Chains A and B, each alone.
Chain A
Amino acid sequence: MSKIAFLRLAVIVIAVGLLEAACRGGLIDHRVVIPPSEMAIALAHILATGEANHQIIRTFGIVIISVAIAVALGFVLGVIVHALPRVRQALDPLFATYYAVPIFIFYPVMIAIFGLSVVPIILIGVLNAIVAMIIATLNGLDRVPRVLTKVGRVHRMGRVSTALRLKLPAAAPHLFTGVKLAVSYGFIAVIASEFIMAPAGLGRVISDAYSDFNNPRMYGLMLLLVIVATVVNMVLHVFDQRWAERRGIART
């Protein structure tokens, strides 16, 4: 294990240890926060009994669908906007200010249109993630060296072949940044939508557990979300780092 990885792990262990000590020692009221060890036991119980399996599958399924749509559609729209400079000039200010608008304000409108189903949640997930992917695609295509187009022509490659075999790999690190952001934004949007109003899903179950003062269930499922979000992002981060190192790109 590298020193940095060890330090990272140490920070997490110390933080969790302090929280455990504060809860056990009475510094934090047990009715407000339960010790992390109890959260872990509650999560293990939920997973072992399978009582929340349906909700878990539903929520993560919606996240996967939202992110997949946002990444695919965001990439296609990014390519189209990149090919149309005037359209891009018109849209650039909108992209720049997009995340200043809380997308959730449109959630009630979507429920009114599509009903209280998975569709409004997927749409909110897509809307929250797609612009990150569009911007990443534009950035990636902007940074494809022009010389690669010439190399493609020297190799007598057509436009599609040049795009797929040269431009796409050249832009890939930036596209991957878009995927990372889309995963985070999509995840946040889906869980938040379920919190606000949904017939089912992890967000709804956590919200119900909060209303029922069922702290073990609430914190157990919160722990599950924290673990899944952290693991997914760390896996993406590791891929990104390895890719960047191979290409000599500095990442922070």
Chain B
Amino acid sequence: MQAESSKPQVHASLSNVTRVYPGVAGNPPVNALGPINLELRRGEFFAVVGPSGCGKSTLLEVLAGLQPASSGTVMFEGAPVAGEVPEGIGVVFQEDASFPWLTVADNTAFGLRRAGMAESEIRRRVDDVLSFMGLKDFARAYPAQLSGGMRQRVCIARTLVLQPRLILLDEPFGALDAQTRLLMGDEVLRLWRRTGATVLLITHALDEAAMLSDRIGAMSARPGRFLEIVETGWPRDRDSTIVGDPRFGEITGRLWDNLRNESLKALGHAQMAAE
């Protein structure tokens, strides 16, 4: 009984999930994902790494309900995910998804206004999130007046203000420079600790995954499956300074061991991968 109660609670899961894209213009169907299994523990930070085109983003979209699974079961908080994005899931995309016609404050308030929340409560929540994200001084600015990193923070703020319990990040720092990515990583860790939400991060950067995550799933080339799930063992109050920890190098090395052959396969170098 003791062991049962200390077992981490499953927040979301994929069971034998596949995603097959139908063939277009006479081409055969593309098996993009799986079959894949994953149990996301409540409150954990989980990263997914893998070669280009292995189905990382497909996995995220299937989990979010943005794409249907071709087979298998997707569950969030005990209920199946089918057809639409369940309440409680927030998604931040790689592309700049800020609304250029709205100010930073109005971007952030978008979901709350749609939900019909009272304006006073919207202002309170938006102020709080913008302060947390370091955007308070830019509340009246438009996205075009901000840097790429700040625009991505606006998108994160728009997601965060809805207080999601599962945050899905699809390579949100992919378009940013290395230093900004490190700093954004610190911010994501800060918001993860503050919200207590479960976070799933899709990234192609092994160092980013190793720095941010409790667990990292290394995926094979298409159709993506988990080759190994690596536990990092980092304390919860970590930040980007852990890149100097000797274990950081061990983790990235282990991930690369898993991914090198898969990346070669993805690039079409099957013979080199075999050697």
Contacts and interface: CB of A to CB of B under 8 A. Distances in A.
Interface in B138-176: 142-145
Nearest to B89: A154
B85 A154 contact: yes
B265 to A, nearest CB: 28
Which of A147, A148, A170, A245 gathers most chain B CB within 10 Å?
A147
A53 B100 CA distance: 43
B64 A145 contact: no
A170 B66 CA distance: 21
B248 interface: no
B250 interface: no
Contact of A172 (B66, B101, B111, B143): B101
B93 A150 contact: yes
B91 interface: yes
Nearest to A247: B100
Interface string B80-121: 000011010111010111011100000000110010000000
A157 B85 CA distance: 10
A145 B95 contact: yes
A155 B86 CA distance: 9
Contacts of B142: 246-248
Q: Is the interface of A mostly helix, strand, loop or mixed?
A: helix
A152 to B, nearest CB: 10
Contacts of A237: none
B87 A156 contact: yes
Which of B85, B90, B97, B100 gathers most chain A CB within 10 Å?
B100
A111 interface: no
Contacts of A156: 84-85, 87
A229 to B, nearest CB: 29
A151 interface: yes
A150 B66 contact: yes
Nearest to B164: A154
A197 interface: no
Contact of A155 (B65, B96, B110, B144): B110
B202 to A, nearest CB: 14
Nearest to B86: A156
Nearest to B102: A169
B97 A157 contact: no
Contact of A248 (B89, B90, B97, B145): B145
A153 B101 contact: no
Given A153-B85, A156-B85, 8 more contacts: A145-B97, A151-B97, A154-B66, A154-B85, A155-B111, A170-B101, A248-B100, A248-B145
